Chain A
Amino acid sequence: MTDTSMSSPAHSTSKGTGANLSKIALRWGLYLILGLFALYYLMPLFVMLTTSLKSLEEIRTGSLMALPREVTFDAWATAWSGACTGIQCEGLRPYFWNSVLIAIPAVALSTLLGALNGYVIAHWKFKGANLIFSLMLFGCFIPFQVVLLPMARVLGLMGLAGSIPGLIFVHVIYGLGFTTLFFRNYYVTIPAELTKAAKVDGASFLRIFRSIFLPLSLPIIVVTVIWQFTQIWNDFLFGVSFSQAGTQPITVALNNIVNSTTGVKEYNVDMAAAIIAGLPTLFVYVVAGKYFIRGLTAGSVKG
């Protein structure tokens, strides 16, 4: 705020220190509000963390926001390897690995296909390419409820019902629209002359992709990988619809732990489990926040 309210110098000297004081007060007010909102956004994370470190006894007798009197990691151990999701009591660990097994191939495949598609649509225009792009783009916005029923049947016909390859397949298919969009929007900024010159020199379609486009693609690959990873790791709808006992992703397991009706409610275990489920995407956000935000905004403000 290089000041706007008192831009004429003559004006400000005549008012003197009174104006200066109100300026300082405004600044403090601004920081106070920003700080309060920071607390608001941090509060649930703080509550999750402190609750996960308390014993059940302390949770029942203490206050929501209080720091743990005695720090215990029992809840974390239970959440990781002992909490019950229905009848099984193996904690989140197997489901964490399910999510990893789903996310890695699905992210890799959808990113690779998106890069090739974007390359074709941006630099090898043929009749109908724009229509294809539009159709793919519209596909990003459908509510997935509209494909759940037929997809369940088709996965059954393909012999992939309730399996991890089935979930990988689903995530690749419905991630294609966005990954193609990301790469297409990035590749249109690369001059067409470059492709033309390479063609004149006799370079092939794949050669140009490998030697010219791929080396330039690191930033958009990072954006796409982060976007896809966050989407797939956090997915619940496909996970709950197309998995069965043993192949569920972590979000489904977390929900089962929290909402399992048997036994005593272990809030500390619930909170530890929620943090474990959120850690991978939080880690990505903290490490590569810039690319994360770019992906988010690329999905909405295009071009």
Chain B
Amino acid sequence: MSDWLENHLPKVVLAPSFIAILIFVYGFIGWTAWVSFTRSKLLPRYELKGTVQYEKLFASPRWDTAMDNLFIFGTLFIVIAMVLGLMLAIFLDQEVRTEGVIRTIYLYPMALSMIVTGTAWKWILNPGLGLEAMIKGWGFESFTFDWLVNPDYAIYTVVIAGVWQSSGFVMALFLAGLRSVDGEIIKAAQVDGIPTWRIYTAIIIPSMAPIFLSAFIVLAHLAIKSFDLVIALTGGGPGYATDLPATYMYAMAFSRGDIGQAASSAMIMMGVVFTIVVPYLYSELRAKND
């Protein structure tokens, strides 16, 4: 008996976690997928009714706005954070004496909750007493910066706060990447008299392709899951001008009592995440097992 236990102990130890993941991740995904094909409203119903929920979802102007916003926010957030992160990493890589301090300052927003970040920027960007009022106070009476309350521009305030929060992290990723480039090649290029900017654009940056991919995956993942930042910064408003799929799903699930819509929107979110993450993870795992 004790022999059997000793032989099987590794499996016995792993089993609870594995079963938990099977039920609470994969089982739950299955449940949500199933319910997304029913007419569930306030309570789940289990008779399959085809794609009615998805048809309703795609016909909903609010969902349309949410997907448009995800596209605008996602693109700007990823591009700006990557450009800023790369730029700062290159600047910091020039044997800057105070690098440690500067790095600490650039990265601390990542330690904060999105709710804290959203609260801070909501105050800074509020037109009545924030930045706008301050610059008006400097004598620029006609200055307006009311993006936070302007339905056409509110989504860009989410970009501003999101980039502030995450760009330092991208900088850290790129800095680690820059440090891992083979120093010999760079020295050889310097001896040949190749200018610094050429060394960066022709040698260093191309060799960091895997880091670009990692940064992209992390940022895309953050963008799709963005929920708390919008809740704290704009509450999804004005109206539902800054709704994202995550806030739409939450509204359907917990305030509208429309489980069918909540389930189908969650499935679309998962579809978006998986088309981005699965190929990446698959190649990572395969590379490791080979």
**Which residues of A are at the interface with B, using a C-beta cutoff of 8 A?**
1-2, 4-5, 7-8, 11, 30-31, 33-34, 37-38, 40-45, 47-48, 51, 59-60, 63-65, 113, 116-117, 120-121, 124, 126, 129-130, 132, 134-139, 141-151, 153-154, 173-174, 176-177, 180, 204-206, 230, 233-237, 240-241, 251, 254-255, 258-259, 267, 270-271, 273-275, 277-278, 281-282, 284-286, 289, 292-293, 296-297, 299-303
Contact = CB atoms under 8 A, between A and B. Distances in A.
Nearest to B170: A300
B173 A1 contact: no
Given A38-B106, A147-B29, A236-B227, A284 B111 contact: yes
Contacts of B92: 34
Contacts of B29: 142, 146-147
A292 B211 contact: no
A120 B14 contact: yes
A255 B265 CA distance: 24
A149 B122 CA distance: 30
Interface stretch (B19-27, B50-58, B61-69, B148-156): B19-27
Interface in B232-280: 232, 235, 245-246, 249-250, 253-254, 259, 262-263, 265-267, 269-270, 273-274, 277-278
A287 B20 CA distance: 34
Given A4-B196, A33-B91, A34-B91, A301 B28 contact: no
Contacts of B246: 143, 145, 237
Contact of A282 (B13, B44, B111, B169): B111
Given A1-B94, A145-B269, A297-B172, A44 B11 contact: no
Contacts of A148: 249-250, 253, 262, 266
Contacts of B254: 241
Contacts of B60: none
Given A37-B88, A41-B108, A41-B168, A7 B190 contact: yes
Contacts of A120: 10-11, 13-14
Contact of A4 (B21, B105, B190): B190
A236 B26 contact: no
A70 B71 CA distance: 45
Nearest to B221: A141
Interface residues of B, number: 104
Contact of B111 (A38, A146, A270, A281): A281
A303 B134 CA distance: 48
Nearest to B137: A63
B105 A64 contact: no
Contacts of A284: 111
Interface in B18-45: 18, 20-22, 24-29, 31-32, 35, 44
B contact face: mostly helix, strand, loop, or mixed: helix
A146 B14 contact: no
B102 A134 contact: no
25 contacts: A1-B196, A4-B196, A37-B106, A40-B164, A41-B106, A41-B109, A42-B105, A134-B285, A137-B281, A141-B274, A145-B262, A145-B266, A149-B32, A150-B27, A173-B24, A177-B21, A233-B113, A251-B116, A258-B122, A271-B119, A274-B116, A278-B111, A296-B169, A300-B214, A300-B217
Nearest to B216: A300
Contacts of B169: 296
A275 B117 CA distance: 10
B31 A47 contact: no
Contact of A234 (B112, B130, B265): B112
A255 B233 CA distance: 10
Nearest to A141: B277
B35 A149 contact: yes
B233 to A, nearest CB: 10
Contacts of A289: 104, 107
B215 A300 contact: yes
Contacts of A149: 31-32, 35, 44, 253, 259, 262-263, 266
Contacts of B225: 143-144
Given A251-B113, A274-B116, A303-B284, 11 more contacts: A30-B91, A47-B123, A120-B10, A143-B273, A154-B24, A237-B228, A241-B253, A258-B232, A267-B129, A297-B176, A301-B214
A256 to B, nearest CB: 10
A251 B115 contact: yes
Contacts of B21: 135-136, 139, 173, 176-177
